[in-house]
Structure formats: C-alpha cells, structure tokens
Chains A and B, each alone.
Chain A
Amino acid sequence: MARLTRDPIDHQALTEAVRSPRCGAVVLFLGTVRDLTGEFVTAYLDYEAYEPMAERKLAEIEAEVTRRWPAATVAMVHRLGRLAPGEVSVAVAVASPHRAEAFDAARYAVDALKELVPIWKRENAPDGTGDWVHQSAKPIPGGTGLPACAAGAQAGRPVPPKPDPDRGTRA
C-alpha cells in the first residue's frame, strides 16, 4: 500500500495487511481532523508533503520499528490534500505476537512521523483565513537521526520523540 495518498485511507485494508496468525495483537492508530482547537474552528485542513522525502522517512520509521520490535509488522499511510473534520489524515497499523510491543511500536511510529516526516498542515477557518502549522520554532537538531530512543548508537544528536501540542488533529 502506498505510504502517501490523496484518496481516503483504507484503514481496514491497512490493518489486514499487517495481520498474521503469529500475531495475537493488532493496534490501529487513526489521526482524524479535529473541528476545534482551543477557540480556533477548523473548516478544513490542507496537507502538503515533500513527497519523495516523506516516502523515504516513512520507510525509515517502519524499518526502525522492525529493528526495535523484530516480531512486529508495521504499515503507515498519510493522506494529502484537503480534509474535512472527521476524516482520517494518518493511519498506523502494527501487529505483533503480544499487545505490549504492538502499543509501544504504534506509539513510537506516530511520534516519529510527527517529528521527522516532511508533511505540513494548513488550518483553514470557516471565514477563509488560516495558516500553516509550523509550531516547533527550532531546527531539527542533528539532521539525519531518528528519535534517540530508537536511533540507539546511530550517529547524530539525540532527538527524543515527544508529542507536540496537537493542532488540527487528534494524532
């Protein structure tokens, strides 16, 4: 399944793609467009990506998940284009023999996506105003690295995955 799509995400197909008889646990995370962030009413979001790099970073995150949780199978899809409240913007499916690693791996994958993958959202209000969300007002340190908890002994300064104060989605 493609990792970037302009069509609605088929999260049931994504889930089936990771399921197998050796896996007794399947975690599916869906990020969906939220209609209200604080006092800001979201009419719709526009998602844009640097597509070749986003594909590459998503593949790297998937590889890192299976390096850290060798028994896990993971699949990630992010949607691009215009999304209305309630629509699914991102889906992460993880299957593993037991539930603990499935939850941990899914959490890691979503956090890494939100930190490293060059995708941006523009929040648009009903009156037509809006702006891009570029909230972490500092450069990504180290550059190449995956989050430190996963990167292990890899070169590069540590970048701990930390949930940001989500705007626009429940992700």
Chain B
Amino acid sequence: MTHTVRLFARGRELAGADAVPVELPAGATVADLRRALAERYPALAGLLAASAVAVNHDFAEDADVIAPADELAVIPPVSGG
C-alpha cells in the first residue's frame, strides 16, 4: 500500500517536497522503507543513510514492522539548540 513519508530540513529540499509517497508491501519493515525511499528518490539516498526513521513520533529500529496507519518520517541528524 502507499505510505506517506514526511521530510524535513535538507531532506525536504532534496526531494522538493515536505512529504513523499512510497509503496510498501504489507508487513514491510523500516529497513524496507529505507530501501524503497532510496530507490524511488535517489537524491535522498545519501542523507537517508545518515538519518533516523521515526514511526509515530518516536525513533524506530530497522527491524520494526510498519502498520498501515503509521506516521512515517525521515529524521536527518538534528541541530537544535
């Protein structure tokens, strides 16, 4: 199914959008999401490798399984403060 992935900071600029769609099979993991994003949006690949993925407003592990209604986001290295 199609998930929407939110993007921020340089990720948003590289993709030219603050959210992008990505197609994932049922039962896909965060690692699958990373691969699908990098394939569909090659401009994001480099930053993606240095970024965390958030699921439902918390940092996710690569092995975590994504549910249909989950809110997904790419979190580049943070620089608040």
Task: List chain A positions with a Cβ less than 8 A from chain B.
Answer: 31, 47-50, 52-54, 56, 78, 89-90, 110, 113-122, 131-140, 142-145, 166-169, 171
Task: List chain B positions with a Cβ less than 8 A from chain A.
Answer: 6, 8-10, 13, 47, 49-52, 54, 57-61, 73, 75-81
- Taking the nearest CB of chain A, how far is it from the CB of B18, in angstroms? 10
Determine the residue in chain B with the shortest Cβ distance to A79. Answer: B80
In the complex, the answer to whether A132 meets B79 with C-beta atoms within 8 Å is yes
In the complex, the answer to whether B8 meets A118 with C-beta atoms within 8 Å is yes
Pick from B9, B61, B77: contact of A136, CB below 8 A: B77
- Knowing A50-B6, A56-B58, A134-B10 touch, does A118 contact B78 (C-beta < 8 A)? yes
In the complex, the answer to whether B6 meets A90 with C-beta atoms within 8 Å is no
Q: In the complex, given contacts A89-B80, A134-B9, what are 14 additional A-B residue pairs having Cβ atoms less than 8 angstroms apart?
A: A49-B8, A50-B6, A56-B57, A119-B78, A122-B9, A136-B50, A138-B77, A139-B50, A139-B51, A140-B52, A140-B75, A144-B61, A168-B79, A171-B81
In the complex, the answer to whether A134 meets B79 with C-beta atoms within 8 Å is yes
Most A CB within 10 A of own CB, among B9, B49, B60, B80: B80
